[in-house]
Amino acid sequence: MSTEVRTGRPVRGLATVVGDLSSVGGARLAVAVLSVAGSIATTHLLAPASYAVIAYMGVGATLMLVAGSGWTSAAVSRYGREELERTAGMRGVVWARVVITIPILIAATAVFVGLQAAGLLPHEFKWPFVWMTLAIGTLGVACDQMIVALEAFGRMRAGARAGTARQAMLLVGLVTLVAAADGARRPPQSVAWLMLAVALVLTVALVGALRGHGLLPPRLEHAQVRRVLVFSLPLVAFSASQYVMSSIDLVVLRAFRPAAQVGTYALAYSGYATLASLAASLTVVLIPLLVSLRVGGRSELIVRYFERLLPSAILLACAIGGLLAPIGALLIPVVFGAGFEGAAEPFAILVAAAVLLSTASCVAPILMLHERTGATAAISTGAVAVNVIGDLILVGWVGMAGDGPALATTAAIALTAGGYITVARRDLGVGPALSPVLWAPLVAGIVPTTLGSPPLGLVCAAAGAALVLALRPPFDAGDAELVARLDIPTRLRGPLSRMIIRLAR
């Protein structure tokens, strides 16, 4: 084991962690809102059959992104930041990922062309759409490679702006097309060309953003290629498990229940997916930060983060979740209509899954730091099994509607969070003080909501959070010193530090 040496220089990302988290999380929320607006504009522009063609293109491009790039992104966050700290560059890791990705894109192209030539794709999906899908998918992979590199360099805000800019450009283009159509339907080619143009513009902009970062000329290091592959291959199972978990609930529910119940649950799950995207932003910021801490000889801060700050983060997530569950239940029938009122209870349950996922996202960077991708894959496989078995029992045997899949998903994410904490505890040699009391605000908000009283859930969640802070606060006075060093606005930093000192045990 190598001996850590303190470099004496500031740890990259430590002084901007709050701003980075806000930028990445805010950008993901903005992308979700802009995506909904874009979908509405597209439905006003295209007929249903034409919309299906664009949906096929989206599925194809997304599959290319997941297969070609998604499973290797954590390797750049992990090894790219390490290379940056040691050599002031990351050409080796970045180009290793490119080398791994190129054969996959070639294979994806061959598969799409072969399926089209054999007549296995939908008949309305003509050759021009195949070529545009391949082009959009390839540009999407290139953009993902560059965004992950920017994040590893510590430019979290630049990466966040890129995703938001893509959705904003699409929305502006779609609104322009709707206005120009003057109520008439347009062919799907108009939207397809817009998607391709936006992807091209974003690619060019990201190339410009990476200028001056020392990534050129390309450099191939076989040792780095092997390292990235060994680290990333187990994450193929992780990516596959996430795909299965995002779809199995709907499949099982439709097998046993009417289509209307599938629709209401799909709405509840879309809300959970938005929360899950926000939770995933934690890993984007924390993986490079933890690498920088260890390379800079500050591993004691990683231990403190896991042992002391994780309980505080869980309490905060539980307080927010406890309030969000009843608020969502109250708003769903108002915003989406009385026909979707049945989505309120599943959404309230899925808020618990989102809180557990945020816990897992706080711990996952520790596993990536210690190269525990094999453990991550095993835990993900177990979570999928819990989700599938839970769906079959609760929906198929017990006869539950949307609440059944929501409970199964929550149980699967609970296994994930528990597994991650167990592995991290073994690696760091310490464990967080995770008192069951920390979950009181979440339970207090969800239970009355699922029993039909969201207003009572609001009151109970707020009261539960106040009681935990008063009787069992999860921090000590030393945490105030760390808070004082974070990039929190000055008008909030002082009162927050004083409150921690006052409430600390």
Backbone angles phi, psi at 321, to 5 degrees: -65, -40
Contact 84, 135 (CB under 8 A): no
In the numeric block, the tokens 């290139």 are attached to: 142
pLDDT tens-place string over residues 366-402: 999 999 999 999 999 999 999 999 999 999 899 898 8
Name residue 37's amino acid. Answer: A
Residue 340 has what DSSP assignment? G
How far is 221 from 324, CA to CA, in rounded Å? 48
Query: Which of 149-163, 239-253, 288-302, 435-449 shows the lowest mean pLDDT across its residues?
Result: 239-253
pLDDT at 1: 38
In the numeric block, the tokens 């167990």 are attached to: 422
Terminal Cα distance for the chain, rounded:
36
pLDDT tens-place string over residues 227-240: 999 999 998 888 88
DSSP-assigned letters across all residues of 430-456: ------GGGGHHHHHHHHHHHTT-HHH
Q: How much is the pTM?
A: 0.87
pLDDT tens-place string over residues 422-471: 999 999 999 888 888 999 999 999 999 999 899 999 999 999 999 888 87
pLDDT tens-place string over residues 190-230: 999 999 999 999 999 999 999 989 999 999 999 999 999 99
How far is 161 from 460, CA to CA, in rounded Å? 38
Contact 76, 98 (CB under 8 A): no
The residue extents of the domains of the chain are: 13-232, 236-474
Backbone angles phi, psi at 118, to 5 degrees: -85, 0
3-class DSSP string for 393-404: HHHHHCCCCCHH
pLDDT tens-place string over residues 119-131: 988 888 899 999 9
pLDDT at 3: 44
How far is 221 from 99, CA to CA, in rounded Å? 10
**Which tops the pLDDT comparison, 182 or 34?**
34
In the numeric block, the tokens 């929360």 are attached to: 275
Residue 122 has what DSSP assignment? -
pLDDT at 142: 97
Contact 476, 356 (CB under 8 A): no
